Every structure is written in C-alpha cells, then in structure tokens.
Structure 1
C-alpha cells in the first residue's frame, strides 16, 4: 500500500446456508444476497428427555457449527424446526401413513412450531441463536379432508405434515407469530437481524 493511502473496503464474507431444505433455500433467496448451500450432516435424533424447543435449538446451532468447521471464514446459517404437540416432538412424517396419523392427532388442537436459527462465523467468533415460536390452530378436520389434502400436496418432508404456504393453509384456523416466515422454515426477520450483526449488508 502506498504511503498515505487508505485501505480499500473490507470484502464481504461469504454466506453459507447449512441446510438441504428447499424451503429454507427459497426463503433466504428472498433477501437477494449471494449464498451457497452445504449439507450439515448432523444426527437429528433427540437426546433422552429432550423437549421440542430444546431439540430445535440444539440442532439449529449444531448445523451451523458443523458447516462453519468447513467454511471458517464464512457467515453460516443453521436452522431446525420441530412441531410440538403437548410437549411431544413431531418431525417430518416421511410417508402418507405417518402424515395421516399426525394430522389426525392435531385436528381441532393448537400446535407449537419451534423454528430455531443460529448464525456463526468461526473466524470472527460471532455466534447468535434464537427460536421463533409459532402457534398454529388446526381446524377440526374430517378424515376425508385430511386424505384429500395429503393426496394433493404430499407434504411428507414438512414437520407437522402441513405446508401453510400452499394448500395447507386450508387446514388452519389461525397462525400466531412475530416472524411471518418462521412456520415455512426460516424466520427471516431474525435472520436479517443476525446477518446484520455478523456484518453482512442487506440493503
């Protein structure tokens, strides 16, 4: 650098989404920032006695940390969602029969969806995490409505077997949340807040 010259702008850090979820990838894409995707490869099994909120929080951080080990200079986003029916964790159904069982249990009831978010940068030591809690009240669905919905949308990769951003909205009476996209899989208000704190410009 020449004497008396000022240093140039610090280059922006890479952003990595530690998730293979197409829903999270689409949501993060709404922010208009460049990012890459990496699979976190984390065991998602609950620990003995671990509740839904604690499970989501632990996995969200574990995913971010696992990917940050491979991308130490990047700002890494990790997230996890667990549906909570009276303290019991409900994960992704995986198939039609499990989805029928989940929706049959949830009809006419309120279910909490814990969507955990962690943002980590190993190089700077930055780490923040939070959990967005969404209360979802399901209608008193008939067996025929459940069957019709599942055949049409096949939401077998969604925690709780319902896609609120699609036809699943017809299953619900109400959604209560302070972060509108949290139910889809990534709370963008919290994501923006943490990315700004990590030094990632958004606007």
Structure 2
C-alpha cells in the first residue's frame, strides 16, 4: 500500500539548484522565498552559521504554511579559517577563486526539516571537502565569464563547468555540494512518516508562493 503524507512539502528556498535536486525525489512540493538575514554572528563557526540559517529559513515559512513539512538549507564554505559565501559579483568571485586556488575548501551544507504543525525540527550538516586546481588568472577569468557562478558559495558551479576547476572532492552525499543533501533529507522525511519510495499525493501540489 502506498503511504500518504498528511502534510504538504515546502521548500523554503528559491535556489534553482535546490529545486532541481528536490524534484529528483518525485514528490510534489511548493516553493517559498524565506526572508532571512544571512549575516554570520560574531565568532560563529561556518557549520553553526549554516545550521542556524537553515533553521531560520524553515521557520520563516511557518506563517504561510502552518501545517507543512518545510525544508530549509544553507551552505557556507571555509578556507584558511575564513568563511566564503556567495560572491554576488565578478570581482568578488575572482577574489574567492584566487584565494581557493590550489587549496582544500570545506563546504558545510546544512539541512533542516521543520514540521510546522508539531513544531519538531530535524537538522544536520553534511561537509564536503573540495581541492581546487592551481588556477591561473586567465583560467579564472575564462571560467567566470562562461559559467557566471555569482550566486554560488565558493564561486564554482560544480554541476556545470565548475567541475573543471577542482581536482578532487570527498563527501558522503554528492548532492550536498550542489546545495541539498538528499540522503539526509530522505531519512528526515521518513522520521516524519513520509517514505519517498511509496508516497503518493492525495491532492495536487500547492501553487508556488513567493511571500
């Protein structure tokens, strides 16, 4: 018998990468844009920042979806003890890739699943260690002009041409680096009574809400 989830699934993120990854589970879901200040707190570790923000994003969707399973996720990279976020501009991306060239960078991909009906919160962080190639100034410019990864932490779109700027990566979940640890998410959903392999929707998915 197929299992029916009592609650709709909501992704508290407008990231196209997370949206695509979540669609791999073949479960209908709604998208909402969470309004969260992503500024790290003083003396906060990268992992703690990512975890806190993933929880804040999930909770931010509660007013719009008081009876739902809400997914929040965030990613923070660190190199030489420094936090590296989304560059937002070409100039900042050049600085990030120059800093990471030839070095190992740890990407902390945090995931939270919030049951807005019961108040239960499940959270974890999945690290991915990436060794970047030694990159010349010309290579950095060429990559950024082609891929334009300005909304990606670490200035590299790994699922695209960014794979050419790295030498090696190590992670327990290859999806974590792209932005959504699906292995951990499947386990969390199971804890909330949703088996993704036998689940079917009793109702059509909700329309996207951009509040």
Q: TM-score range by the shorter chain?
A: over 0.9
Which residue is 1:165 aligned to? 159
Q: Distance in 1 between matches of 2:179 and 2:4?
A: 32
TM-score normalised by the chain length of structure 2: 0.89
> Is the 2:75–2:108 Cα contact (8 Å) retained in structure 1?
yes
Gaps of 5+ in 2: 198-211
Alpha-carbon RMSD across the aligned residues, in angstroms, is 1.2
Which aligned pairs between 1:69-80 and structure 2 lie closer than 5 A? 69-80=63-74
Q: Deviations over 1:170-203 (max 9, x none)?
A: 1001000001100000011011111111122311
Gaps of 5+ in 1: 1-8
Task: Report the count of equivalent residues.
Answer: 195
Q: Deviations over 1:61-99 (max 9, x none)?
A: 111111124312100000000111122111100111000
The structure number with the bigger radius of gyration is: 1
1:67 aligned onto 2:71? no
Q: Distance in 2 between matches of 1:151 and 1:86?
A: 26
The CA deviation at 1:13 is 1.1
Which residue is 1:82 aligned to? 76
Choose 117-126 or 37-46, whichever is displaced more. Answer: 117-126
Q: Distance in 1 between matches of 2:152 and 2:38?
A: 15
Q: Distance in 2 between matches of 1:24 and 1:79?
A: 9
TM-score normalised by the chain length of structure 1: 0.93
Q: Distance in 2 between matches of 1:11 and 1:114?
A: 30
Q: Distance in 1 between matches of 2:81 and 2:193?
A: 36
Choose 64-73 or 186-195, whichever is displaced more. Answer: 64-73
2:49 alignment partner, SS class = helix
> Is the 2:4–2:194 Cα contact (8 Å) retained in structure 1?
no
